[in-house]
Structures are given as C-alpha cells and as structure tokens.
A = this chain, B = another copy of it.
Amino acid sequence: MAGEANLLALLDLLGVPPQDRDHAARQPLAIKRVKARQALFRWGEPMRALAIVRHGSFKLCHLDELGYEQVSGLAMRGDVLGMESLDLPQHDSDVVALEDASVFVLPRDQVSALSLRMPVLGQALQQASSRRLRQSQALVDVLAAVASEVRLARFLLWHSRQMAEDGWSDRRLHLRMGRRDLASLLGVAHETVSRSFTALSMAGLIAVNDRDIEILDPTRLQGYARSTRRPQEDSRSVTPLRPTATARPPSAPRSLFVA
C-alpha cells in the first residue's frame, strides 16, 4: 500500500537539475500506491496532502450530485494532484486512478516549511501548478470546439503533445480511459465519440484500434482541429474530409495492427 523514498526522487521527477539540489533532499518522503479505479482523493474529504504522480494516470472529476460524474481533467507522470484545493479545508474534486498508479505524498503542513528550506522545491511546485493551469485552459479550448469531430481531433493532438513532452511517441497514443469517460471529458455522448473516431479514421487521419490510436497525418489533423466548425468538403480547400460519397479511405475503417 505504501512505500518510502526521499525528496531527491521527487525533485528528479519534477525535473530539477541535479546541481540545484540541496543536501536537505535526503528528507524521507512517503509513496502511496493506488489501484485502478480507486480514488486517491474524494470530494469533501479533508485536504491533507499534495500528491505528485510517479507512474500511472488519473482523472479529475466532479460528481453531478447523485448520479453522473463530470470528468474535468487528466493527470499523468509529473503532474501535481490536489493543488486546486491547497487553500481549502476540503478537497474540491475527486481524483481517481485510471490504472494502477503511485504517487509521492507531500503533507500540506510540510509544503511551506520544505519550500522555505529548499527553494527549488517551491519553484518546482509552482512550475507544476503553472502546467496544470495551462492544461486546464487547453481543455477549455478543446471543449469550446463546436463540432464533435473537431473536439476529438483537438483532444488527440493535445494528448499527443503531452506524450511528446514526456519523451514518448507523438504518433502512437494509448488512451487510458474508456469511451464513456472520454465522452464526459469532451462533453458529448459516448456514441458520438465512437462515430467521431470512425469518421477521422475513414478520412485517413488516424488509425483506431480500441484504445490504441495512431496519428497517420498530423498535418491534416492539425488543420482539421483548427477549424472552428466542421470544415466544408470543399475539395480545393485545405482539409478535405467527410467524403461526399467516395473519398480515399481504404474501403473500411483503418485499423492498427492488421495486415
């Protein structure tokens, strides 16, 4: 359930250069493991600590009182969790693991003391906070797109960039969430997500195999994502999509991992 490490490992995760590290970094630090579908934080729970994702991924969501949950964000390796509740007595949102995961635990009452003793930590946290803020605003951009296919395209590109920042391929993506969660995040019906996947796939922009996505044509996908609304199927215009009847898809939805 729990493990132990020291601040050094955390600073490493947050990308603090080795030379900036204090000797104080030997300070012990708790590690918490969370199994898939388990909650790390729950809404209303007393806010006791920050958590920094070590491996695995999480979804942030708000419970639409009694019933549906609204996914409002994702968190991956290096992301800070609980930051949005740092100045509150209780957690403001649910944080649920999408897969088996582990986090560093930073008790809130130690945050300011540690930051004072070790300025680089405070700066790293501030940096992480900035990243989350940008991520959240990027999500607003995704959601603001009117057409569902454009939303999906923007999401995929955003996710692709996220992966690229962590040194992964920006072409092959593995979604950690099901269609329902994704639909909640994108603000559409889950059937619509499905249809949008096949539409982008039919257009040859991506290849889809369940939760494995490959971006086949980044350039056109970007052009497509830019459009405020669904692009016209004007053949001379950029980004032809939505074939009138016949286009260039290979007769069936492109799939990964098939001959």
Contact = CB atoms under 8 A, between A and B. Distances in A.
Contacts of A189: 146
Contacts of A92: 134, 137
A226 interface: yes
A85 interface: yes
Contact of A136 (B136, B184, B185): B136
Interface in A118-149: 119, 122-123, 125-127, 129-134, 136-137, 139-141, 143-146
A242 interface: no
Given A115-B122, A123-B112, A72 B144 contact: yes
A228 interface: yes
Interface residues on A, range: 35 or more
A86 interface: yes
B119 A87 contact: no
Nearest to A183: B144
Contacts of A112: 119, 122-123
A65 interface: yes
Contacts of A139: 140
Contact of A64 (B129, B131, B228): B228
A7 interface: no
Interface in A187-240: 187-189, 226, 228
A64 to B, nearest CB: 6
A129 B115 CA distance: 16
Interface in A66-107: 67-68, 70, 72-73, 83-88, 92-93
A31 interface: no
Interface SS of chain A: helix, strand, loop or mixed? helix
Contact of A73 (B122, B130, B140, B188): B140
Interface string A106-119: 00000010011001
Interface of A: 60, 62, 64-65, 67-68, 70, 72-73, 83-88, 92-93, 112, 115-116, 119, 122-123, 125-127, 129-134, 136-137, 139-141, 143-146, 184-185, 187-189, 226, 228
16 contacts: A72-B137, A72-B141, A84-B133, A85-B130, A87-B126, A92-B134, A92-B137, A122-B122, A126-B129, A129-B129, A129-B133, A140-B140, A143-B143, A145-B187, A146-B187, A146-B188
